Amino acid sequence: MLWIKALHIVMVASWFAGLFYLPRIFVNLAMVSPESVAEFERLLLMARKLLRFTTLLAVPALGLGLVLWLYYGIGLAAGNGWMHAKLALVLLAVVYHWQCGRLLRQFGAQQNQRSHVWYRWFNEAPVILMLVIVVLVVVKPF
């Protein structure tokens, strides 16, 4: 079980590293001037590769988490409200990941409607999610 737990932690940290950086690329994409086509295309390519890589990390992170939860029973005992809260936040992280893909497709179709300031705020969400998830797992406040 410890190997699975260790791999889960590495995959989650790597997944979130991608979620931390991808919206930062969105900030830069939103700031590119219309005449800088090469810069826009380079950033778009970087964002597409990062999303693909981040998705490849999310799958084992979620799969290993399911193994720990359902096979090893972590968080299944009565009085583990922290696990319900954690699962809700993990679902939010998956929705955030999906939203990143949606935003990237909008950039690719030249349909971005948001400013770089909006993306700066959007970039803060995974930091807050990871912080609260880690506190729930380590502290188990309820």
Q: What are the pLDDT digits (tens) for 20-45?
A: 999 999 999 999 999 999 999 999 99
User: What angle is formed at CA 141 by the lines to CA 140 and CA 142, rounded to 5 degrees?
Assistant: 95
pLDDT tens for 55-103 read 999 999 999 999 999 998 888 887 789 999 999 999 999 999 999 999 9
Residue 72 pLDDT: 87
Query: Residue 13's domain spans which residues?
Result: 2-139
Determine the Cα–Cα distance for residues 116 and 75; give it in Å rounded to an integer. Answer: 39
Alpha helix positions (H), the chain: 2-31, 37-66, 81-108, 116-122, 125-139
Record the pTM.
0.94
Determine the Cα–Cα distance for residues 55 and 17; give it in Å rounded to an integer. Answer: 11
Determine the Cα–Cα distance for residues 119 and 10; give it in Å rounded to an integer. Answer: 26
Mean pLDDT, rounded, for 98-117: 97
Residue type, 37: V
Residue 76 pLDDT: 82
Number of structural domains the chain divides into: 1
Using an 8 Å Cβ cutoff, are 133 and 89 in contact? Answer: yes
